[in-house]
Amino acid sequence: MYGLIGHIRATPGDRDSLAEVLLNGARGMPGCLSYVVARDSEDVDALWVTEVWDSSESHQASRSLASVQEAIAAGRPLIEGFVARHEVEPLGGVGLSRR
């Protein structure tokens, strides 16, 4: 499995709009086992995005999907910056099974 954990700062006041864009763009991505968007409890403009994929290849392939391209275009103006981005190797968890 392949995973990403990202900390994104939205432009002031746009966190919920960015969250909506990210969640809507994540539907129907082949190989995506989990995609979670969460509000940062300490920063009113920040989000955490946690992704788990069956492989890094599936993650890369998702970038060519029309829904993902549309979400990137819609979300870009709402993003002030990326605080952190970490690639990880998920071992399992609730709702995730090793294949």
Q: What are the extents of the domains in the chain?
A: 2-46+56-88
Query: Which segment of 4-8, 15-19, 54-58, 66-70 scores lowest on mean pLDDT?
Result: 66-70
Neighbours of 40 (CB within 10 A): 16
At 41-57, the pLDDT tens digits run 999 999 999 999 999 99
Q: Identify the band that residue 96 occupies on the pLDDT scale cut at 50, 70 and 90.
A: low
Domain 2-46+56-88 architecture: 2-Layer Sandwich (3.30)
Burial class of residue 51 (count of CB atoms within 10 Å of its CB; 0-12, 13-18, 19+):
buried
Average pLDDT over residues 87-91: 95
Other CB atoms within 10 A of residue 88 CB: 13
Predicted pLDDT of residue 55:
96
User: Which of 39, 41, 36, 38 is closest to 3 using CA atoms?
Assistant: 36
pLDDT at 68 over 70: yes
Q: Count CB-CB contacts under 10 A for residue 50.
A: 16
